[in-house]
């Protein structure tokens, strides 16, 4: 890592980190993405006329130049789409999921939205929040050529800490610049991990800056506003009152409830008894 002069657990003062030269510069319009691949025009996606849906471009395989490659979407979710999000519209228990996928489709259709309005997916673990957040990003990249960037909340904070230089009191521009600048930032698992004052200040600063620049942020969180259990922490307790109220303005909230898809559908391995 370049210029990494800090220890992993050192927490730079959030206010010190953000120097004027880190303030966001206007990002290029989506149209200026280099059309490197003649098949997908640099999006990394192409239309499959047989299956009548988009797929990874067969020519460049979503190569290094493509939007999809630059979005840093984790391998597990790379193929996430609205089409492979399975819901049963006749099942009353899945109503919130049906509504969620409809809202996402509408969001993509209407994009760019007024004042950079984003989405905030709230719900328990495994209901498909990250799947739908990435499906929305994939659709925006594929259909509208909008640059997106995925960051797991904890990974982002770790990257900021790891590249913080206590001598110059700055963080690597290579980490922060795209987080400020990208048209659509997907911030996964907001509130996860240790919640310290530095964490809250840092994330509040990043999201506030994006809000002021009218940049779109798509967020997921397992923390709810009204938790089912009185021992559960609320989102507000995790991220602070100020940021929670900012998120009301920045994002349309999508509540999802239901079973953990991982437990009910995936990895059903038999128990091994000793």
Ligand X SMILES: Nc1ncnc2c1ncn2[C@@H]1O[C@H](COP(=O)(O)OP(=O)(O)O)[C@@H](O)[C@H]1O
Contact residues toward Mg ion (CB under 5 A) are 129-130
**Nearer CB in complex with ligand X: 66/220:** 220
What b/e sequence results for 97-127 when a residue is b if at least 16 CB atoms lie within 10 Å of its CB, and e otherwise? bbebbebbeebbeebeeeebbbbbbbbbebb
CB 170 to ligand X: min, Å: 33
d(CA 223, CA 95): 20
Give, as ranges, the residues between 223 and 262 that touch ligand X (CB under 6 A): 261-262
Residue 59 touches Zn ion, criterion: CB under 5 A: yes
Question: Pattern of binders to ligand X over 199-228, x per CB under 6 A?
Answer: ---------------------x--------
Residue nearest ligand X (C-beta atom): 128
CB 189 to Mg ion: min, Å: 6
List the beta bridge partners of residue 165: 170
Q: Which helix (H) or strand (E) holds 149?
A: strand 148-152
C-beta atoms surrounding 273 within 10 Å: 4
Q: Which of 6, 27, 85, 105 binds ligand X (CB under 6 A)?
A: 85
Give, as ranges, the residues between 29 and 58 that touch Zn ion (CB under 5 A): 37, 39-40, 57
Stretch that binds ligand X, among 38-46, 64-72, 85-93, 201-209 (CB under 6 A): 85-93
What b/e sequence results for 46-69 when a residue is b if at least 16 CB atoms lie within 10 Å of its CB, and e otherwise? beeeeeeebebbeebebbeebbbb
CB 105 to ligand X: min, Å: 14
Residue 128 touches ligand X, criterion: CB under 6 A: yes
CB 48 within 8 A of CB 142: no
**Nearer CB in complex with ligand X: 10/260:** 260
């Amino acid at each position: 890592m370049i210029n990494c002069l800090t220890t992993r657990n050192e927490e730079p003062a959030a206010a010190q980190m953000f120097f004027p030269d880190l303030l966001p510069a206007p990002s290029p319009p989506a149209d200026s993405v280099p059309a490197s691949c003649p098949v997908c025009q640099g999006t990394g996606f192409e239309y499959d006329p047989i299956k009548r849906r988009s797929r990874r471009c067969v020519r460049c395989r979503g190569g290094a130049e493509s939007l999809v490659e630059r979005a840093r979407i984790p391998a597990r979710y790379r193929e996430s789409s609205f089409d492979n999000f399975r819901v049963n519209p006749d099942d009353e228990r899945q109503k919130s999921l049906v509504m969620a996928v409809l809202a996402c489709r509408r969001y993509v259709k209407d994009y760019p939205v007024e004042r950079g309005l984003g989405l905030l997916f709230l719900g328990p673990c495994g209901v498909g929040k990250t799947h739908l957040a990435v499906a929305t990003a994939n659709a925006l990249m594929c259909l509208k050529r909008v640059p997106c960037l995925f960051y797991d909340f904890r990974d982002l904070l770790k990257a900021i800490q790891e590249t913080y230089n206590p001598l110059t009191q700055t963080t690597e521009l290579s980490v922060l610049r795209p987080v400020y600048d990208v048209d659509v930032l997907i911030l996964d698992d907001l509130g996860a991990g240790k919640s310290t004052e530095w964490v809250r200040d840092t994330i509040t600063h990043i999201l506030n800056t994006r809000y002021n620049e009218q940049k779109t942020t798509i967020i997921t969180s397992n923390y709810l506003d009204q938790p089912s259990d009185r021992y559960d922490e609320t989102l507000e307790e995790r991220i602070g009152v100020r940021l929670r109220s900012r998120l009301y303005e920045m994002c349309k909230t999508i509540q999802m409830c239901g079973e953990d898809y991982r437990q009910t559908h995936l990895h059903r391995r038999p128990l091994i008894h000793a």
